[in-house]
Amino acid sequence: MKYYAYEEFKNDTNTLKNKVRDFNPEALLAIARGGLTLSHALAEGLNIREVQSIRTELYDKTCKRDLITIFDTCVFEKKSRILVVDDIADSGETLEAIMKHLAQKYPAIEFKSATLFYKTTSIYEPHFWVQEANDWIDFFWERDFKD
């Protein structure tokens, strides 16, 4: 288990910001909760005012794959390029499901994905990522506010 401190996040987020810059997104879509802090930082760094969020619930039905419900109430007006933001592509199932959903629901918009971490065992590889994760990541937002 690796504690991921704010200072490291700061460096990685600046690296990620430079990677996504060429895509030139007009809005960010944060996957809640994991992508909230990162999308805030990227929005400030890239000077993007529009940040929307989407969330999922996972139902473990002890099937082969978990069932993912996506709660999407987004409204994208006159947008061509949107960056989808999450902390990590771990199993990759949530990100894959969300990207598939977005492509189907908003065919006129190009969506690309960005995460801080990518596990090589993930079934989905984000368009932009910074670090390969080999260990369990203990993000500062998951540890620093617990009782």
Give the binding site for a copy of itself (CB under 8 A): 6, 10, 13-14, 17, 30, 32-33, 36-37, 39-45, 49-53, 55, 57, 71, 73-75, 140-142, 144-147
- Nearest distance, CB of residue 83 and a copy of itself, angstroms: 14
Nearer to a copy of itself, 64 or 146 (CB): 146
Least separation in angstroms between residue 120's CB and a copy of itself is 26
Q: Which is nearer to a copy of itself, 136 or 145 (CB)?
A: 145
Strand partners, 85: 30, 114
Burial per residue of 107-120, b for 16 or more beta-carbon CB atoms within 10 angstroms, e otherwise: eebebebbbbbbbe
Give the Å distances, CA to CA, from 139 to 8, 29, 52: 10, 20, 22
In 23-73, where does DSSP find H-type helix?
36-46
Q: Supply the minimum distance, in Å, between the C-beta of residue 95 and a copy of itself.
A: 18
Instruction: Provide, rounded to whole angstroms, the least separation between the CB of residue 82 and a copy of itself.
Output: 14
Give the tokens for residue 108. Answer: 């006129």
Nearest distance from C-beta of residue 143 to a copy of itself, angstroms: 8
| Pairwise CA distance, residues 34 & 89, whole Å | 11
Residue with Cβ nearer a copy of itself (55 or 119): 55
Strands across the sheet containing 110-118: 67-71, 51-59, 27-32, 81-89, 110-118, 128-132
Closer Cβ to a copy of itself, 76 or 118, answer by number: 76
Helix (H) or strand (E) holding 16: helix 6-20
The residue among 33 and 105 lying less far from a copy of itself, judged by its C-beta, is 33
